[in-house]
Structure 1
Amino acid sequence: MNDPTTNKTTPPTSSAKGECCTDLKCESGIRNNYFDGKRLTTDSFRVEQTYSLERRHLLNRAIHGWGVVYGYEVTSADSQAQQDGSGQLKIGAGLALDTCGRELLETGATIQFKNVIFLDREGKRWDLDEAFKQVGISTGFSWDNPPPALVEGVKKWCWLLSVHYAERDIDHVRIEDHCQCGRDEWDHLCETVHYSLRPIDCDKCCGNFGCELECECGTGHCCDDAGEYTHEKGLVPPTRETRQRGGCQCLCKHLTHLKVGGECGLCEIEEPCGKVRVDVRNGVPLACVKLVTDKCGLAFGTVEDACGPRRLVKRNDLLFDLIRGCDLTRIKDIGWAQWHRKSDPIPFEDFANAFAQGGDQEPEYVTRDFWVQFSRPVRRDTVRRDCFVMTIITSEPDDVWWETLRVPIVRVKAEDTDLVDHATIVVDGPWLRDTLRGAASIFQGKVTRVEVEVRGDFIVDCNGQTVDANPRGRVPVPTGNGTPGGTFLSTFLVGPAPTPSRPASYYSEDRIKGVS
């Protein structure tokens, strides 16, 4: 009886012309087929290992992309680094993926200038003496008294620190063959990382990673409308349905022509402890740093920016938080929250006192209750009076139209610092006395509608993003629908102002006659 688990294939046979079938070359990925009696050699295990590595690297670069996944904190190695630099950099534990899909795992290290690879602006290995010659500095000087041009130049230049995939052989073994000819081998291979420095303009340290998705106008059957048709009321809608995000062909074309990976070769570098193989082409940027000179040569100075140059790999939970707008600044609280979209009118006296108590003849008044508080600091220079609008909506007895009047906001009061988290509206003094406390107030005899706007598109937070001021139903605060900008609109009703009593002589016949 045949074993049902055994796959049997017909062996290749010669054709009528005497040609024999040959094995086709497999370029999509070859792995071992295990069967009883199979002879396992080092090549068998090498095939299995190569298949696993190449498939994992392919999925990494095709699905996750490249950049820093987490960690890789870059700091100077001591507390004095804030001024002169310590000569060393401390690299925290972290994980990154390079453009070849390889994992760059760092468990934590302290590096010196002599531990890094020196590259030119194009990413090619650069001899330090050759670099000095290109900037007009002759070699052979003493580091105890370096040329002034070098000292000044080093202070101005910025350097991009990058991490690269590297590997080295470990655990040496000696192999003796049958002919008594020995050879050296290594029992294991250590996957590690290596660091590089290359010059960069300081104003380019803040990496601006633009949109990689570029959409052109799509054509074809899927991009055409379904054709015009007549609505039951004679109207013709412009399209049959709403197009999906990304256009009719944009995403398809982008992924069709997406190129992943590149040249992923290793360059062998001689080090004091042995040789190490490094991929100098496909580094992952980490930070912009400064260099200093000391008696031994160049050394690490301060860390200029440890986030700007980085490209990040965003995890699914991080993307979900970004979709929800967790990175955005919102309006955290407002002074008139208890009135927001309230159905019943609020007493006029409460509304008037929310501006200021009457009495003093001030040119302007800092309102008591018309203030906003942000969930994180915002830039003071972006919080201006045009960020706030207060509108009074009233009606005339003999007219059905609503009349809108704007409250004169003269400025915004906030702390005299670069970043603030609180702002208060300041209104014109004569307007306040005439409109709210005057004898001919527009609030007399009727209910008035008030609208207060906060323009989030004008207010920029400490991270350079506009405030998410979008309202959420009847809830006054916090604002936010997950998108930057937007306008917070708050409405409420104000009850009629009391009619002031006037002297009888004001309506006397003599006064009426005196009017021409």
Structure 2
Amino acid sequence: MNSMEKTGHDQTCPDGLRNRFFQRKRMLAKDFQIEQDYLNGRRRLLSRSVLGWGVVYGFAIEGAKEIAGCIGAGDPHAGKGEPAQAPGATPAGNAAAQAAPIDTSSKPDQASSKAPHELSVAAGFGLDAGGREAVLREAVTLTAENTLLLVRVNGVWSPRRIDADMKPGRYMLAVHYAERVAGTTVPASFCCCRDEQWTHSCETVIFSLRSLESELCGCGEPECPGAPCACDACAGDPRSHARLVQWATARVAAEASHLRPWDPFQVALDAPIDLACVQIAGVPERCKPLEFVDIDASSPRRLVKTNDALYDLIRGCDLTHIEKVSWGPWHRNRTPVEFNDFAAFFNAQDLDKDSLLTKFSVLFSGPVLRESVRRDVMAITVQMVDGGTGWVRSRRIPISALDTTPSNKSLPTNMTDQFTVAVAKRWVRDEIDQSGESYLSERDFVVEIEVRGDLIEDCSGQTVDANAIGRRAYPTGNGSPGGTYFSSFKVKRSMRSQAEDSERTAR
């Protein structure tokens, strides 16, 4: 076992051996090693069991256009794949890696260049499954000198040099904690009869490539742990305490794996931090950067959830919401809207020979899938009180189509950031232009508008956070995906109808 991997225990004290200090204690090299091993071991135990493991920040892939979320990727939940098992992965981790993969190899709208190009990994920080800190201070270009090839030999992942025998294909790119000796050399004993020792150890990182057994790139996040139903004295808690106890007792942090030699390094080969699914182009050449043609630097990454990230998730910073609605000034306003102002929203340009484009539009804070913006995501209802018994009668304004032309013309063709309501011209002629008797001419009425965020998916496959907040017309959002935006306002009946009533009263 490498000195940096000892956890401060021996056969007589398997749970953690540390120094006791007292006057006139003689400290030997092994005592200092015990102290360092204990501190490193406990720190890494806390890291892997409390913080978890994965990418904390950084490790951006540079020199290639990355795939941005699900833009152009269609259904992110379509298909199941079996990516190559990570060295030292637990059964739960393997299952997670097979969950909801995204096929990144054949989507026409993905932002990837087919011309071979170099690849650099920017500065970053990650924790591996052993709790070791993988720290990269500055960007490096991937070459055969800093990247090794992992191959299966008798069921065990073993390191190999990248050379002309490496075949083009799809690989998982990962970063590993590594060490190498540094400083100067000094004799190991006063009599100089033993090997010389280096004065320092340098912590660094090494990259690896391991062949993907599937064309699909799996998801790096673990699935929610399952647990049977259970009850305890804390049953009144909002969350099941018994279930959380079962999760905690089953989630035991494993010991850190040994560092294995890869001259001149000692590398945590069994604890990779996956960064990207890549495709190697051509035959690698020594002393030249590796060349790639495709990259998915999102799907396989397992992340360490920092406090800032968790708070941002609580606030819903990752969610798309409704940025603006065109009828915003009317939203829940006590002052009734004049009928002519309401009617002006239906005096827009033609959508086609049968439909008229209105001025009722919804703008989103980010791209949404056009395919998910269908007529059923919007409902406009007119509520009118019956003059006799006081019953409230409801009638839906017939929406003929939703126009999804985006305001941002640079969006992919399968994305939009807004939609506009279209209605049948015949309905506008009968009810708004009021060439004859109209339902809307009888008395004042209330308009209720619903936008169903649960049915609209954003570019990451999440539903739009559409919940209305009090009297605020926009932006929407309560920090959770989905929800319904509800808006209402009162409209006065038409002036012509009011004049006719006054005339009848005068008679």
TM-score under structure 2 length normalisation: 0.78
TM-aligned CA distance change 1:357 to 1:36, over 3 Å = closer
Deviation at 1:280, TM superposition (A): 1.0
1:309 is aligned to 300
1:421 to 382, 405, 417: 417
Q: How does 1:98-497 map to 2 (within 5 A)?
A: 98-108=128-138, 109-113=140-144, 115-120=146-151, 124-125=157-158, 154=168, 157-175=169-187, 177=189, 179=191, 181-201=193-213, 203-207=215-219, 209-220=221-232, 222-223=234-235, 242-245=236-239, 247-262=240-255, 264-270=257-263, 275-294=264-283, 296=285, 299-356=290-347, 363-368=354-359, 370-415=360-405, 417-438=413-434, 439-497=436-494
1:50 is aligned to 37
Kept in 1: contact 2:321–2:364 (CA 8 A): yes
Kept in 1: contact 2:357–2:420 (CA 8 A): yes
TM-aligned CA distance change 1:295 to 1:35, over 3 Å = closer
TM-aligned CA distance change 1:301 to 1:359, over 3 Å = closer
1:253-290, CA deviations, whole angstroms, 9 ceiling, x for partnerless residues?
Answer: 111121212451121123xxxx3111211111011111
Kept in 2: contact 1:76–1:303 (CA 8 A): no
Kept in 2: contact 1:291–1:301 (CA 8 A): yes
Deviation at 1:463, TM superposition (A): 1.8
Higher RCO, Cα 8 Å, sep 6+: 2
TM-aligned CA distance change 1:295 to 1:164, over 3 Å = closer
- The separation in 2 between residues aligned to 1:468 and 1:359, in whole angstroms, is 31
- The separation in 2 between residues aligned to 1:28 and 1:176, in whole angstroms, is 30
1:121-179, CA deviations, whole angstroms, 9 ceiling, x for partnerless residues?
Answer: 666126689xxxxxxxxxxxx97xx9xxx9xx73xx31001111111112342417465
Secondary structure of 2:48 counterpart: helix
- The separation in 1 between residues aligned to 2:349 and 2:119, in whole angstroms, is 63
Secondary structure of 2:151 counterpart: coil
Answer with 1 or 2: which has the greater Rg: 1
Kept in 1: contact 2:221–2:301 (CA 8 A): no
1:61-96, CA deviations, whole angstroms, 9 ceiling, x for partnerless residues?
Answer: 111000011111223489xx944323x431211111
TM-aligned CA distance change 1:421 to 1:473, over 3 Å = same
Deviation at 1:431, TM superposition (A): 0.8
2:119 is aligned to 89
TM-aligned CA distance change 1:126 to 1:32, over 3 Å = closer
Secondary structure of 1:218 counterpart: coil
Kept in 2: contact 1:117–1:196 (CA 8 A): yes
- The separation in 1 between residues aligned to 2:425 and 2:338, in whole angstroms, is 22
- The separation in 2 between residues aligned to 1:359 and 1:37, in whole angstroms, is 95
- The separation in 1 between residues aligned to 2:415 and 2:143, in whole angstroms, is 37
TM-aligned CA distance change 1:201 to 1:351, over 3 Å = farther
1:425-484, CA deviations, whole angstroms, 9 ceiling, x for partnerless residues?
Answer: 001111111112222111224211111111111111112211100010010000000011
TM-aligned CA distance change 1:187 to 1:373, over 3 Å = same
- The separation in 2 between residues aligned to 1:125 and 1:83, in whole angstroms, is 31
Matched AA of 2:143? Q
1:10-52, CA deviations, whole angstroms, 9 ceiling, x for partnerless residues?
Answer: xxxxxxxxxxxxx993333222222221111112211111111
Kept in 2: contact 1:461–1:467 (CA 8 A): yes
1:289-346, CA deviations, whole angstroms, 9 ceiling, x for partnerless residues?
Answer: 1112248489431341112111011210111011110111111111111111112321
Matched AA of 1:193? V
Show structure 1 runs of 5+ residues with no match: 1-22, 130-141, 224-241, 503-516
- The separation in 2 between residues aligned to 1:301 and 1:361, in whole angstroms, is 47
Secondary structure of 2:449 counterpart: strand
Deviation at 1:99, TM superposition (A): 0.6
1:326-384, CA deviations, whole angstroms, 9 ceiling, x for partnerless residues?
Answer: 1111111111111111123211111111111699996221102x111111121222112
- The separation in 1 between residues aligned to 2:225 and 2:284, in whole angstroms, is 50
- The separation in 2 between residues aligned to 1:391 and 1:340, in whole angstroms, is 14
Kept in 1: contact 2:368–2:415 (CA 8 A): yes
Kept in 1: contact 2:180–2:266 (CA 8 A): yes
Matched AA of 1:327? D
Secondary structure of 2:441 counterpart: coil
Matched AA of 2:24? G
1:19 is aligned to none
TM-score under structure 1 length normalisation: 0.77
Deviation at 1:114, TM superposition (A): 5.1
- The separation in 2 between residues aligned to 1:127 and 1:36, in whole angstroms, is 51
Deviation at 1:418, TM superposition (A): 2.1
Secondary structure of 2:32 counterpart: helix
2:7 is aligned to none
Matched AA of 1:317? D
TM-aligned CA distance change 1:374 to 1:448, over 3 Å = same
TM-aligned CA distance change 1:73 to 1:49, over 3 Å = same
Secondary structure of 1:453 counterpart: strand
Kept in 2: contact 1:445–1:499 (CA 8 A): no
Secondary structure of 2:225 counterpart: coil
Kept in 2: contact 1:168–1:190 (CA 8 A): yes
1:135 is aligned to none
- The separation in 1 between residues aligned to 2:38 and 2:281, in whole angstroms, is 46
- The separation in 1 between residues aligned to 2:37 and 2:488, in whole angstroms, is 67
Kept in 2: contact 1:117–1:125 (CA 8 A): no
